[in-house]
Structure 1
Amino acid sequence: MTRIDAREIPPVQRHDKIHEAFHDLESGETLTIVNDHEPKPLFYEMQAEIDAFDADNYEVEQRAPEEFVAKFPKK
């Protein structure tokens, strides 16, 4: 499992780093992202642009007021 704490990445670099990490996954693996907000814009971006993103199995859980854990599975 690949895990990124996006809270540690400057906002302007977050999506690029996440896309790179997702690209490096093997089919069937999942990228887990910890973020300070629900990553809906990222979900919609990946759903629209990345065929290998398994949007049907995307999950997000709010664990604290500024801690969201999202799972982006790869087909």
Structure 2
Amino acid sequence: MTRLDVRDIPPVNRHPTIHDAFDDLEPGETLTIVNDHEPKPLFYEFQAEVPAFDDDGYEVERVEPEKFVARFPKRAP
């Protein structure tokens, strides 16, 4: 599992950084991101543009008011 805290990354760079990290995953692995807001726009972006994204396995948890942990699984072959 790869964990990426994007809270200190400038917002304009967050999605490209997340996409690069997801691309580096092996099939069946999961990218866990920590964000300061619920990443619904990112979920919809992945759902529409990333065929390897397993949207059925997506999970998000609000652990603090400004801390969300989301899991983006990559489809197994």
**Structure 2-normalised TM-score?**
0.96
Identity of matched residues, %: 73
- Stretches of 4+ aligned residues off by more than 2 angstroms: none
d(CA) in 1 for partners of 2:36, 2:24:
24
Between the two proteins, the alignment pairs up a number of residues equal to 75
Q: Tell me the equivalent position of 2:74.
A: 74
Could you tell me how far 1:8 is from its partner in structure 2? 1.4
Partner Cα distance (1:32, 1:9) in 2: 15
What is aligned with 2:43? 43
Q: How does 1:1-75 map to 2 (within 5 A)?
A: 1-75=1-75
Structure 1 gaps, min length 5: none
**Higher relative helix content:** 1
Q: What TM-score do you get using the length of structure 1 for normalisation?
A: 0.99
